[in-house]
Amino acid sequence: MPCSDYDPASLPDLLPLYYRRLFPFSQYYRWLSYGGVQKNYFQNREFSFTLKDDIYVRYQSFSTQSELEKEMQKMNPYKIDIGAIYSHRPNQHNTVKSGTFQALEKELVFDIDMTDYDDVRSCCSAADICLRCWTLMTIAIRILDRALRDDFGFQHLLWVYSGRRGVHCWVCDEAARKLSSAARSAVAEYLSLVKGGEETVKKVVLTDPIHPFIKESLAVVEKYFPQYALKDQDILGRKESVDKVLALVPEDILFTGYKIPESRWEHFLLSQGTTKKGQHFEKEIMLQYCYPRLDVNVSKGVNHLLKSPFSVHPKTGRISVPIDLKELETFDPFAVPTISLICEELDRPKPGEEQSEDTNKNEDEKDAAEKRKVRDYKRTSLAKYIKHFDQFLDTMARSWKGELLKKSEFSYCGCM
């Protein structure tokens, strides 16, 4: 729809409406307060705001949901970042004795950015993406989600589209939030296979025995590799692409006589039967071209800030929305609503809406305002993403209640 096209110049006009009527403050507060089990958990959380003209404001903190709402509606940030839970309130960090202001906890987070794959995608580069290379994000989510759940035992993983060219993962389990920097680094290193910078040609090297985690990851990659790498990226089609692949294998492997990429790959796989034990060239190629590329520095620092869910990307206008893994295969980053679209959707009247407004006149004003806000986002394309966020929070709440029940039963037994 042409009327929904996003114009960055319109952002200052759209943000006040978004924060006043559409931002899911209630769910947001519910998430970051984690059931209020731990005192001052929300109050000691750092937020940072990027304002118009790239003015960056750190160490923001809020006592209540209402206080957060008022400040965000006053400042209308272009971008919101979430940081750690500190030993003291971040907005008072200048009044605390030097050395005592410490980052204590934060979700274990992962940041996967499409620009880190520029050496293995031919369709796009830099900040540009398309549906062909978006498959890399699908593969990354599949591999990391399985590993974090099965290998580490985490349960509460929130996957979020960044709004432009990547995805973020927030591991919200209590055990994950309490991890030290060393432990976070260990998890990130365990999950990292692609090593080396631009100068490194061969970025994946496998040795025997192949770790079960790598075998599980390969099973995911093998599902997508023929369509993504051989067809969409045509890695064995153009000479330049073929030369890149040949640089990863011994010199005696050639593709002469085979013109179709799939035939070249089959020939290559057959030739693997003659390689020495401990050589896994075809697996290394698949992993180098498809395995998730993590920014380890984002994951290992407790005090590292990460872009918040439901923040707006200033360049694309797209909302940073949670991803429902049940619909991962059909997730389309270009179908994610822009702030201009959802604000436009607010102006579309619904049948019977005027009558509904009349019946609400006698309601308590605050209650009516809250109901109106709920009704507002449900009128827009943002509704299904907030619904998924609600479901995530409900699952996490059941887990908290279960843990509290166990603790109370334990305490009761201890008193007997």
Q: Which residues are catalytic?
A: 46, 111, 113
Could you give the CA distance from residue 86 to residue 104 in angstroms, rounded to a whole number? 5
Could you give the CA distance from residue 20 to residue 342 in angstroms, rounded to a whole number? 13
- Axis crossing angle, helix 261-271 with helix 281-290, rounded to the nearest 10: 140
Among residues 225, 230, 117, 223, which one has the least CA distance to residue 165? 117
State whether residue 408 is helix, strand or coil: helix
Q: Are 286 and 220 within 8 A, CB to CB?
A: no
Could you give the CA distance from residue 34 to residue 57 in angstroms, rounded to a whole number? 25
Q: Are 294 and 111 within 8 A, CB to CB?
A: yes
Could you give the CA distance from residue 50 to residue 373 in angstroms, rounded to a whole number? 25
Among residues 127, 113, 131, 137, which one has the least CA distance to residue 233? 131
Residue 339 identity (one-letter amino acid): I
CA distance to 31, 136, 176, 246, per residue, from 390 (Å): 9, 27, 21, 48
Q: Are 122 and 241 within 8 A, CB to CB?
A: yes
Burial class (CB in 10 A: 0-12, 13-18, 19+), 23: buried
Residue 139's H or E segment, with its range, is helix 131-146
